[in-house]
Amino acid sequence: MNTPLIVVDKLSKKYKNARDFSLQQVSLSISQGDKFGVLGPNGAGKTTFVSILCGIIHQTGGKISYNVQGIKHLKVGFVPQDLAFYDELTASQNLEYFGALYNLPRKEIMVQSRHILTLLGLLNVSDKKAKTFSGGMKRRLNLAIGILHNPSILFLDEPTVGVDIQSKNAIIKFLNQLNQQGTTIIYTSHHLNEAEEFCNKIAILDYGKLIALDEITALKDLNKAGNLMEVMLKLTGEGYRDHV
């Protein structure tokens, strides 16, 4: 059995002036080495959940525990859904800037930047301004920034949204390599086929509540579903989920 790396106990969040809770009493654990998917309709609480886990916002109630035994230096990476870099800087300059924020030595930034840009197919455009990049290239630069410091845990919020199939395939392949090297990945997405292929375990949120938690095969068997999309529709319904 894998060691629980993150234990979430009755996590709740209500934003100031909000009528309803965005998260309600969510409890689960994530094991070291997991590729853990957090799925659900619009407004389910996915981004709020991930944002709390990586310390961007604070919960209203509940607690989060990290079991760091066996991890020499716990480092957390976060790749947001919104692109988080400077358009007027080149790819290399962006990595230099964020590497400095991570307090990495300059030599390490140079070596690691070249390595990651090579792996993500961006080395040949490393001196181009980010604003000239295609959507897929921007997504890969976003990812490069989030993993520059070799995080032990990587949080990904919709990492492949709006990209072509080639970029999506390259990003998922790279993430699998990271996971095989020991990085625990917590991932949100609306791409259910992608999640089904990538994740080993998923949590499904709806209206801020945890409504399902298990390995994908077990969830499909339990719900007599042929795929993850059928599971999702059975558990959350087929009505519109406009979120304002």
pLDDT band per the 50, 70, 90 thresholds, residue 163: confident
Query: What's the CA gap between 167 and 243, in Å, rounded?
Result: 28
Are 89 and 130 within 8 A, CB to CB?
A: yes
Report whether pLDDT(161) > 90.
no
Out of 3.80.30.20, 3.40.640.10, 3.40.50.300, 3.10.129.10, the CATH code matching 1-71+199-244 is 3.40.50.300
Are 236 and 205 within 8 A, CB to CB?
A: no
Domain locations along the chain: 1-71+199-244
Report whether pLDDT(244) > 60.
no
Which one, of 201, 196, 136, lies nearest residue 171 by Cα? 136
Strand-by-strand arrangement of the 76-79 sheet: 76-79, 153-157, 184-188, 35-39, 201-206, 209-214
pLDDT band per the 50, 70, 90 thresholds, residue 46: very high
Express each pLDDT in 2-21 by its tens digit.
Answer: 678 999 999 999 999 999 99
What is the average per-residue pLDDT within 227-237?
92
Mean pLDDT across the chain: 91
Token code pair at residue 131:
């604003």
Query: What's the CA gap between 185 and 182, in Å, rounded?
Result: 9
Express each pLDDT in 197-224 by its tens digit.
Answer: 999 999 999 999 999 999 999 999 999 9
pLDDT band per the 50, 70, 90 thresholds, residue 239: low
What is the average per-residue pLDDT within 141-155?
94
Report whether pLDDT(74) > 90.
no
pLDDT band per the 50, 70, 90 thresholds, residue 70: low
- Amino acid identity of 91? A
Report whether pLDDT(235) > 80.
yes
What is the average per-residue pLDDT within 49-75?
87
Report whether pLDDT(1) > 60.
no
Query: What's the CA gap between 151 and 184, in Å, rounded?
Result: 9
Query: What's the CA gap between 20 and 215, in Å, rounded?
Result: 29
What is the average per-residue pLDDT within 139-155?
94
Nearest 5°: CA angle at 187, between 183 and 189? Answer: 155
